[in-house]
Amino acid sequence: MNKTKPSPGIAFGFEGKAAMMEQALNSAGVSIMFQDSTLAIRYAENLPDHLAQSLVLGGDDVQLLGEKDGAYILRLKEEVLETGKSSSAEVEFSTPEGAKIYEIK
DSSP string of 19-76, one letter each residue: HHHHHHHHHHT--EEEE-TT--EEEEES--HHHHTT--TT--HHHHH-HHHHHHHHHH
Average pLDDT of the chain is: 86
The answer to whether residue 71 scores a pLDDT higher than 60 is: yes
pLDDT computed for residue 54 by the predictor: 92
Look up the pTM and report it.
Answer: 0.73
Average pLDDT over residues 34-53: 92
Residue 12: band (very low, low, confident or very high) from pLDDT cuts 50, 70, 90: confident
pLDDT computed for residue 3 by the predictor: 55
Would you tell me how many other CB atoms lie within 10 Å of the CB of residue 35?
17
pLDDT computed for residue 78 by the predictor: 95
